[in-house]
Chain A
Amino acid sequence: MIDSVSLWIVIIGLGIGSFSLRFVFLGLIGDRPIPEWILRHLRYTAVAIIPALVAPLVMMPTATDGEFDIPRFLAAAVALLVGYFTKNVIWSMVAGGLTLYPLLYLLG
């Protein structure tokens, strides 16, 4: 269960933080140039932080108490590969779901 004080600290903090990140150049810095090395690192935030979040959930799912689980692993692999090759987010989600449920039924 999520503690409601933590929840609201995160909602409000994340709201203010996200707005500040979106506003920082548009609102405050104007058209002063940004050093190229900063932009270069910012380009990789999404593809760095999200896999770091997901990898442990895929290899050690909370639902199985951290035991490696074949249906979940294959569903994740299929979602990633379909997304990579089709460049289509929706197909990727559908493919992941269609892999997970039959395998959970067969192996679970």
Chain B
Amino acid sequence: MKRGYPFFLVVLPFALLFGVVGTEAGLNLFDVLAFSVVVVAGAAQFTAVQLLSENIPTVIALLSSLAVNLRFAMYSASLTPYLGDAPLWKRAAVAYLLIDQAFAVSATEFEKQTEWTTNDRLAFFFGAVLVIVPFWFVGTLVGALVGSAIPPEFALDFALPICVLAMIGPALRTLAHIGAALTASVMSIVLVGMPHSLGILSAGILAMIVGAEIERRMKRGQA
């Protein structure tokens, strides 16, 4: 459980900001909290709120935000060897709570603790999320309460870009990550005229391919 502690420090400001950004976009307290409880995924929630306020078709707002969460399939795949034989309802609970921080801390720990049983691993996972996820919910609510009191002069329109860029900086670990991020930025500006903000999704998919291709070539170079 202790390993979850540093992460609530990261989650809390994002939760507060999501609450603020959500109310700025015109959502009420219940909408904002529902977002956090139903979706439980910061970056996708920010994306969804931004796109919803841009008057584009609902389906495209949904698809683009869902694309941000494709990484969860990778998390799910990496935890399966460790938790695959747990009862179905427990695996479903793990899936619901499988946020970035919980995955990061569990995946590294499961790899180290080779003698752990599935039950030990489940206990570790739930212990970790117990000190992270409640902060996400409560932080969202507090942010929404505070957000409705902040006047527009504070340029909160830009809280979202700064907030998500802060997540991206540390994620740029390799040349492939940088290549993907750069492709995405340039292409999304080039394609900004595409109808219904489809440029975001197109640029994103193209950038994923570029990232994967750079990784493949670099591995071949080392071999």
A residues in contact (CB < 8 Å) with B? 1-2, 4-7, 9-15, 17-19, 21-27, 29-31, 34, 37, 39-63, 72, 75-76, 79-90, 92-93, 96-97, 100-101, 104
Min C-beta distance of B181 to chain A, whole Å: 4
Query: Does residue B146 face the partner (Cβ distance < 8 Å to A)?
Result: no
Q: Which residue of A lies closest to B90 (CB)?
A: A26
Q: Which residue of A lies closest to B74 (CB)?
A: A42
Contact with A along B186-223 (1 / 0, CB 8 A): 11110010000001110111111111100110000000
Q: Which residue of A lies closest to B68 (CB)?
A: A49
Q: Which residue of B lies closest to A92 (CB)?
A: B166
Query: Are B170 and A49 interface neighbours, CB within 8 A?
Result: no
CA distance A22 to B93 in the complex (A): 10
Given A12-B38, A54-B165; A83-B170 close (CB under 8 Å): yes
Given A13-B62, A48-B211, A49-B68; A18-B80 close (CB under 8 Å): no
Query: Are B73 and A21 interface neighbours, CB within 8 A?
Result: yes
Min C-beta distance of A24 to chain B, whole Å: 6
B residues in contact (CB < 8 Å) with A? 9-10, 13, 25-27, 31, 34-35, 38-41, 43-45, 47-48, 50-53, 58, 61-62, 64-77, 79-81, 83-84, 88, 91-92, 94-96, 98, 155, 157-158, 160-172, 176-177, 180-189, 192, 199-201, 203-212, 215-216
Query: Are B65 and A9 interface neighbours, CB within 8 A?
Result: no
Contact of B76 among A24, A48, A81, A100 (CB under 8 A): A24
Min C-beta distance of B84 to chain A, whole Å: 5
Query: Are B169 and A43 interface neighbours, CB within 8 A?
Result: no
Query: Are A22 and B164 interface neighbours, CB within 8 A?
Result: no
CA distance A53 to B197 in the complex (A): 9
**Top 5 nearest A-B pairs by Cβ distance?**
A83-B169, A44-B211, A48-B207, A15-B38, A96-B162
Complex contacts, A83 vs chain B, CB 8 Å:
165-170
Count of inter-chain pairs, beta carbons less than 8 A: 293
Complex contacts, A62 vs chain B, CB 8 Å:
157
Complex contacts, A85 vs chain B, CB 8 Å:
169
Contacts A21-B70, A52-B187 known; list 6 others, CB within 8 Å. A11-B34, A18-B39, A41-B208, A49-B64, A52-B185, A96-B162
Complex contacts, B169 vs chain A, CB 8 Å:
79-85, 87, 89, 92
Complex contacts, A27 vs chain B, CB 8 Å:
88, 91-92, 95
Q: Which residue of B lies closest to A91 (CB)?
A: B166
Complex contacts, B170 vs chain A, CB 8 Å:
83-84, 86-89, 92
Complex contacts, B70 vs chain A, CB 8 Å:
21, 42, 45
CA distance A61 to B177 in the complex (A): 25
Q: Which residue of A lies closest to B76 (CB)?
A: A25
Given A14-B39, A18-B40; A2-B180 close (CB under 8 Å): no
Q: Which residue of B lies closest to A33 (CB)?
A: B77
Q: Which residue of B lies closest to A54 (CB)?
A: B161
Query: Are A51 and B207 interface neighbours, CB within 8 A?
Result: yes
CA distance A37 to B80 in the complex (A): 18
Complex contacts, A6 vs chain B, CB 8 Å:
52, 58, 61
Complex contacts, A12 vs chain B, CB 8 Å:
38
